[in-house]
A and B are shown apart, each in its own frame.
Chain A
Amino acid sequence: MKKVFINGCGVISAQNTFDNSKFLEEVITYNDRVIPVINPVYKDYISGGAARRMALGVKMGVVASNIAMKEAQLENVDAIITGTGMGCLIDSEKFLSKLIDNKEEFLTPTSFIQSTHNTVGGQIALGIQCKGYNFTYVHSGASFESALLDAQLQLTLGEEENILVGGVDENAPHTVKIHQLIGFVKEENTDTSSLLESNTSGAIFGEGAGFFMLSTKQQESSYAQVIAVETLNTLSKENLENKIVAFLEENGSNVSEIDAVVLGNNGDVDFDGYYNLLSEGIFANTQQVYYKHLSGEYNTASSFAFWLGGKILKTQSIPEVVKLNQKKTSALKTILLYNQYRGENHSFTLLKQC
């Protein structure tokens, strides 16, 4: 079985994360219900001709993958695996709105072509002329982890050497409105710096792209080793701790070996109980980290956690802004990521220092 290393990262989020030389040095706080990404200068990466048909999600995905590959010093990859919960929403909404407005006549091709969930993976492949395996997972809150699991299996079995894996989701006005109506988005503007004290239902919605170069060979740019990924569609609070203990045991680890646990708390009073159970239970004496006050909630927000975990292991430091508690750790060797969205699609990811 071969090892899997994260050799490059490209993350576009509501923070300045696309510059890999920095690590949350200047944090932006928001007082809102939906937060946008900090955009890099897309024209520095994509020609005007190619970019003119790309909506934000596609641009984010193409640029994030470009940054990850550059950091890993690769110009092409064996496979591209993408996770997206909602796909290319902006073009989907555009196409469907035209369908209604024009009474099913005068339908133009561009937004339809760009509206499919695999547009991001396809555009990345077109850009680098990668003719290898290209797959897109659409598994709600576990979309990124599904892509990650596929990549991990292929790499450990020696089927591929370098796989680009990522998660991407974009906000679009109509979909946000629907999520506001059904109470998935917070009713009032909320200060992101005090997100977990909001004591209200719903989350602050966000968007972003996180792409990673996973390889079987360790190199100077390596962030961490990916040990294991597991996803569970349903899981009760009662079984959560047992499942985590079993997951760690299966992978030769245990709770006391975890130097930091990265939790996906999003300030939703109805569902943060899962995380609270861990932070007050088996991980009460572990350094706890959270991030959705920086990224917002979206189906592939856990790609931000994956970046955060890798960055912590590489730099051996945890920025104060993501610390949920204060525990002294002599070294940061093993990190567990746990995420769920609205009580479903739970995922555990185990990372180790390399």
Chain B
Amino acid sequence: MEALKEELKNKIIEQLNLEDVSVDEIADSDPLFGEGLGLDSIDALELIVMLDKDYGIKLSDPKEGKKIFESIETMATYITANSSK
């Protein structure tokens, strides 16, 4: 789980071009959207594609995304439970 969290942080920084952010600066429980990392709706689409491509998870209900992408912690928990890869 810890390795997955680290992997997610690296992927988010790289894929969303968060040049000024380092892995150490993202706490597992930090909100990804809004006041935390400040991600927006376009980033949400990037994260949905990342879940599909890298972990084989297709989000059928967009409302699910709100809970899954709340933080690194929630993402890692969901991927561990649902990944097909």
* Nearest B-chain residue to A51, judged by Cβ: B19
* Nearest B-chain residue to A49, judged by Cβ: B38
Q: Which residues 2-20 of B sit at the A interface, judged by CB distance below 8 A?
A: 15-20
* Nearest B-chain residue to A55, judged by Cβ: B17
**Would you call A110 and B49 a contact (CB within 8 A)?**
no
Chain B nearest CB: distance from A160 CB in Å?
32
**Would you call B46 and A109 a contact (CB within 8 A)?**
yes
B45 at the interface (CB under 8 A from A): yes
**Would you call B49 and A106 a contact (CB within 8 A)?**
yes
Partner among A48, A102, A107, A109 whose Cβ is within 8 Å of the Cβ of B42: A109
**Would you call B19 and A52 a contact (CB within 8 A)?**
yes
| Chain A residue contacts of B52, Cβ below 8 A | 106
A108 at the interface (CB under 8 A from B): yes
Partner among B18, B19, B38, B46 whose Cβ is within 8 Å of the Cβ of A108: B46
* Nearest A-chain residue to B15, judged by Cβ: A108
| Chain B residue contacts of A52, Cβ below 8 A | 16-19
- Per-residue 0/1 for A84-127: is the Cβ within 8 Å of any B Cβ (1 yes, 0 no)? 00000000000000000010011111100100000000000000
**Would you call B45 and A108 a contact (CB within 8 A)?**
yes
Q: Which residues 32-68 of B sit at the A interface, judged by CB distance below 8 A?
A: 38, 42, 45-46, 49, 52-53
**Would you call A48 and B45 a contact (CB within 8 A)?**
no
Most-contacted residue by chain A among B16, B17, B52 (CB, 10 A)? B17
| Chain A residue contacts of B45, Cβ below 8 A | 108-109
* Nearest A-chain residue to B21, judged by Cβ: A48
Q: How many A-B residue pairs have CB under 8 A?
A: 26
When A109-B42, A110-B42, A113-B42 are in contact, do A53 and B17 touch as well, CB less than 8 Å?
A: yes
| Chain A residue contacts of B19, Cβ below 8 A | 48, 51-52
**Would you call A106 and B53 a contact (CB within 8 A)?**
yes
Q: Which residues 35-61 of A sit at the B interface, judged by CB distance below 8 A?
A: 48-49, 51-53
Partner among A48, A51, A110 whose Cβ is within 8 Å of the Cβ of B46: A110
Question: How many Å lie between the Cα of A53 and that of B43 in the bound state?
Answer: 10
When A108-B46, A113-B42 are in contact, do A102 and B53 touch as well, CB less than 8 Å?
A: yes
* Nearest B-chain residue to A48, judged by Cβ: B20
Question: How many Å lie between the Cα of A113 and that of B45 in the bound state?
Answer: 12
Question: How many Å lie between the Cα of A106 and that of B38 in the bound state?
Answer: 23
Chain A nearest CB: distance from B31 CB in Å?
16
| Chain B residue contacts of A48, Cβ below 8 A | 19-20
Question: How many Å lie between the Cα of A109 and that of B48 in the bound state?
Answer: 11
Question: How many Å lie between the Cα of A109 and that of B46 in the bound state?
Answer: 7
| Chain B residue contacts of A105, Cβ below 8 A | 53
* Nearest B-chain residue to A54, judged by Cβ: B17
Question: How many Å lie between the Cα of A304 and that of B46 in the bound state?
Answer: 37
Question: How many Å lie between the Cα of A109 and that of B52 in the bound state?
Answer: 14
| Chain A residue contacts of B17, Cβ below 8 A | 52-53
* Nearest A-chain residue to B41, judged by Cβ: A109
| Chain B residue contacts of A51, Cβ below 8 A | 19
When A49-B38, A113-B42 are in contact, do A107 and B18 touch as well, CB less than 8 Å?
A: no
Chain B nearest CB: distance from A259 CB in Å?
47
* Nearest A-chain residue to B20, judged by Cβ: A48
Q: A49-B38, A108-B46 are in contact. List 11 more A-B contacts (CB 8 A).
A: A48-B19, A48-B20, A52-B16, A52-B17, A52-B18, A105-B53, A106-B52, A106-B53, A109-B45, A109-B46, A110-B46
* Chain B residues with a Cβ under 8 A of chain A: 15-20, 38, 42, 45-46, 49, 52-53
* Chain A residues with a Cβ under 8 A of chain B: 48-49, 51-53, 102, 105-110, 113
Q: 26 A-B contacts, Cβ less than 8 Å apart?
A: A48-B19, A48-B20, A49-B38, A51-B19, A52-B16, A52-B17, A52-B18, A52-B19, A53-B17, A53-B42, A102-B53, A105-B53, A106-B49, A106-B52, A106-B53, A107-B49, A108-B15, A108-B45, A108-B46, A108-B49, A109-B42, A109-B45, A109-B46, A110-B42, A110-B46, A113-B42
**Sorted from nearest, which 5 A-B pairs have the closest CB atoms?**
A52-B17, A106-B53, A48-B20, A108-B49, A108-B46
